[in-house]
Structure 1
Amino acid sequence: MTKKTLRLGREVARKPVRLTLTIGPDLAEELKLYADAYEREYGEAQTPAQLAPHMIRAFLAGDPGFKAAKRSQSAN
């Protein structure tokens, strides 16, 4: 068994909500490289658009400041 090296797990939910945003070409290239790494890691092709929402969720879940703000807001 190989050690998984990517932060995102294999299971990707597929209930989309449309959000349009503009990113720079450098970030677009990074997302493409991540999608390539994801395919190598899991043997399943995913586009950057499919992975980006899960990357954002992982970022939010790991941000202690956001967690505190969310707790504070829900307490009000």
Structure 2
Amino acid sequence: MPDLKLPKLPDRTPVRLTISITPDLQAALNDYAKVYAETYGREEPVTELIPAMLASFVESDRAFSRSRAKP
């Protein structure tokens, strides 16, 4: 087997998750989507922004990263 620089890609199968949120959070997410569109000149549905928001939040949580890295 050749020694490739690119490792085998991880599983990228999307996982559907259903949640309930408060009306206040929904309003804030809709406002965020509006500001996003004004900033980048491209509208994106809230459902497309949420996964990126969650990933950004988890990746920026240093305590979580340290905890996760422990064996």
TM-score greater than 0.5 by the shorter chain: yes
**Residue equivalent to 2:67:** 69
Q: Which has the higher contact order (CA 8 A, sep 6+)?
A: 1
TM-score normalised by the chain length of structure 1 = 0.71
% same residue: 36
Measure how far apart 1:17 and its partner are: 2.9
Query: Runs (4+) of structure 1 moved beyond 6 Å?
Result: none
Q: Give the number of the structure whose alpha-carbon radius of gyration is greater.
A: 2
Q: CA RMSD in A?
A: 1.3
Measure how far apart 1:35 and its partner are: 0.3
Which 5+ residue runs of structure 1 have no aligned equivalent? 1-14
Distance in 1 (CA, whole Å) between partners of 2:66 and 2:44 is: 32
**Residue equivalent to 1:60:** 58
Count residues with an aligned counterpart: 59
For residue 44 of structure 2, give the secondary structure of its aligned residue in structure 1: coil
Which 5+ residue runs of structure 2 have no aligned equivalent? 1-12
TM-score normalised by the chain length of structure 2 = 0.76
**Residue equivalent to 1:44:** 42
